[in-house]
């Protein structure tokens, strides 16, 4: 069974801090995604990656960057955390054939 | 602009009731419609529908897609408290693009 692992379940950070959210998948999937989930807004795509070192902006990339140095790992970076980045962050992966997206358990980030 | 709209936003029922959740979509180059169940953590996959009119079933859950009218429904019969969750649908457009609805929050009372 596919496993997508996010390094932290809960994080509390201060405004202005640099924040790293880590995600690892174990199924050799080409595609990896970062979403944020907010009440009433659903899941919104921040960035995705379709191969190592390849990345594409999603719908809300402002204030975020990503890194994919290895196929199994996709990191989301908040360069300077702000309170409006308080949210649930979900990492996901998929392979190009099945279209089925597999999610991690999420990281609930609070920026104070 | 691509969009997926789910209704109702929330629903409260009693155990044993049958519920129907709705998902309408406008997705360019539509490939498939996916349903997920989200409890306290990761959304878990329920169904993927690509063909119109073919029902997918898994136990008490079933789903069908209408590609002409651009919608899908998820039915849950004989609901149980364990069905309480947020149900998400997403339209897939190509390999990377998944457009999610805001979800339907279902609460099943004992």
Query: Confidence band (pLDDT; 50, 70, 90) for B93?
Result: confident
pLDDT score for B94: 73
Q: Looking at the complex, does the CB of residue A42 fall below 8 Å from at least one CB of chain B?
A: yes
Which residue reads 């970062």 in tokens? Answer: A34
C-alpha dihedral, A66 to A67 to A73 to A77, nearest 10°:
-40
Q: Is A85 helix (H, G, I), strand (E, B) or coil?
A: helix
Query: N- to C-terminal Cα distance for chain A?
Result: 37
Asked if residues A103 and A89 have their Cβ atoms less than 8 Å apart, the reply is no
In B8-49, beta strands by DSSP E:
10-14, 19-26, 32-38, 44-49
- What φ, ψ does residue B29 adopt, rounded to 5°? 55, 45
> What's the mean pLDDT in A78-82?
96
Q: What is the pLDDT at residue A76? A: 98
- State whether residue A27 sits within 8 Å of chain B by CB: no
How confident is the model over B60-86, as pLDDT tens digits? 999 999 989 999 999 999 999 999 999
Q: Look at residue A98 and tell me whether its pLDDT is greater than 80.
A: no
Beta-bridge mates of residue B35: B47, B89
**Cβ distance of A42 and B102 shorter than 8 Å:** yes
Percent of chain A with pLDDT over 70: 98
Tell me which chain A residues have a C-beta less than 8 angstroms from the C-beta of B56. none
The per-residue pLDDT for B95 is 67
The yes-or-no verdict on residue A33 having pLDDT over 70 is yes
Q: Calculate how close chain A gets to B33, using CA atoms only, in Å.
A: 10
């Amino acid at each position: 069974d596919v496993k997508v692992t996010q390094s932290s379940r809960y994080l509390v950070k201060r405004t202005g801090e640099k924040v790293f959210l880590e995600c690892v998948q174990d199924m050799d999937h080409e595609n990896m995604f970062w979403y944020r989930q907010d009440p009433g807004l659903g899941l919104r795509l921040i960035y995705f990656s379709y191969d190592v070192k390849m990345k594409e902006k999603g719908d809300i990339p402002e204030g975020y960057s990503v890194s994919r140095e290895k196929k199994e790992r996709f990191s989301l970076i908040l360069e300077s955390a702000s309170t409006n980045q308080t949210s649930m962050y979900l990492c996901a992966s998929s392979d190009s054939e099945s279209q089925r997206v597999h999610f991690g358990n999420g990281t609930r980030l609070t920026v104070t | 602009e691509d969009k997926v709209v789910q209704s109702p936003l929330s629903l409260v029922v009693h155990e044993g009731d049958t519920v129907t959740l709705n998902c309408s979509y406008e997705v360019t180059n539509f490939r498939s419609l996916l349903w997920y169940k989200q409890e306290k953590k990761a959304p878990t996959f329920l169904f993927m529908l690509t063909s119109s009119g073919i029902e997918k079933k898994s136990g008490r859950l079933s789903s069908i897609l209408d590609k002409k009218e651009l919608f899908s429904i998820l039915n849950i019969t004989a609901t149980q408290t364990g069905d309480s969750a947020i149900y998400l649908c997403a339209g897939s457009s190509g390999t990377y693009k998944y457009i999610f609805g805001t979800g339907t929050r279902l609460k099943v009372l004992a």
